[in-house]
Structure 1
């Protein structure tokens, strides 16, 4: 199995910082709430002094969305949406122990973190690239959409899109649930200093997964010169 960003993505966005993790042996039976609460508290401390829209990490994604022709206050990156909800409601939704943990890490670092069920992706390749227009995306409500040509998304070998507008929204098709045992976690940042922070975030994800599940993991920091993460069987 292989995950990568297309060469055109690296060429267009040389400031991209990305890292990925593959884990096996996860399930929904562990309690990650105490650790998630610690990461969420970090985010709340930060929000006490400023709004999510003032975070350099969020501003960088807003600039990226604008460059892609996406209105950034209409379509927010996932971390901004989570921070916004946290600021307004004081808590994050509980979905799945691993998703909850990654969402908490996402707000703590203000960086989008995607978590996909590996067994719901058509391999051998999952690539972040501009859509051709014929890809299919399944929304969480079950409806089918087609990303517009040029929209950046995660596309698998069957032409299925697993995201809309890059880091805006994941697909319901590959969402983590009770059935999930293998996951791919992807963190992506655009702000200055992201090349240092993203590996730190990935290390935190790996440590938490190992501590809670004792799961086997593989990781990679992705760059323009080393864009491929080859993992699994």
Structure 2
């Protein structure tokens, strides 16, 4: 299996940097609370110094959404949505220890982080423009068809695992209590994205090892090295 961005996406967004982490041995019984609190404290300190709308990471995604023809204050990247909720409520709801951890890391770095049940991905996962024929399953169980040219995470079966790029994931590949094998993707476009995504990817790999004793595979992707290959055969 592999994850990649299409050549067209790299051509349109050459500033993009992506991090990918693949791991097995995940359970829903792990305790990640202390680490989640530490990452939340980092985000809280940064929010105390200024609003998330002024973060360069968020501004870069707002520009990208505008280039996609989307109103950036209507459709926000996942990191901005999390930061806005965290600023208001000072805590995020607990869903699953891995999702909670990834959300906390996303808050601390102000970078969108998506986590997928890798066994629900057919063959490959590619960030590309939609044809308009792909299917997307919402968390409420409804099926949608992304608009043509919308940026989606698509697998080889024509299933969209995220819509509007980093705006909304699908319920189909969402991590659940039975999930053991995951693919985690982080993406950024701001000036220091190369260094920040590399650090974020390393942090996630270390956390997976420390909390779940997993031995993750990871990579930082760029236009010159766009593909991350991994195998679920040992899961």
Smaller-chain TM-score bracket? over 0.9
1:140 to 2:139 alignment: yes
1:191-230 alignment runs, 5 A limit: 191-230=190-229
Residues 184-209 of structure 1: CA distance to partner in whole angstroms, max 9, x if unpaired? 00000010110110010000000000
The gaps in structure 2 that reach 5 residues or longer are none
Residues 151-200 of structure 1: CA distance to partner in whole angstroms, max 9, x if unpaired? 00100010000001000011100000101000000000010110110010
Q: Which residue of 1 aligns with 2:81?
A: 81
- Tell me the secondary structure at the aligned position of residue 84 of structure 1: helix
Shift in Å, 1:222: 0.6
The gaps in structure 1 that reach 5 residues or longer are none
Number of paired residues?
232
Shift in Å, 1:225: 1.1
2 CA distance for matches of 1:133 and 1:216?
A: 37
Q: Which residue of 1 aligns with 2:172?
A: 173
Shift in Å, 1:120: 1.0
Shift in Å, 1:216: 2.4
If the length of structure 2 is used for normalisation, what is the TM-score? 0.98
- Tell me the secondary structure at the aligned position of residue 48 of structure 1: helix
2 CA distance for matches of 1:92 and 1:202?
A: 22
2 CA distance for matches of 1:171 and 1:136?
A: 10
If the length of structure 1 is used for normalisation, what is the TM-score? 0.98
Q: Which runs of 4+ in 1 moved over 2 A?
A: none
Q: Cα RMSD over matched residues?
A: 0.6
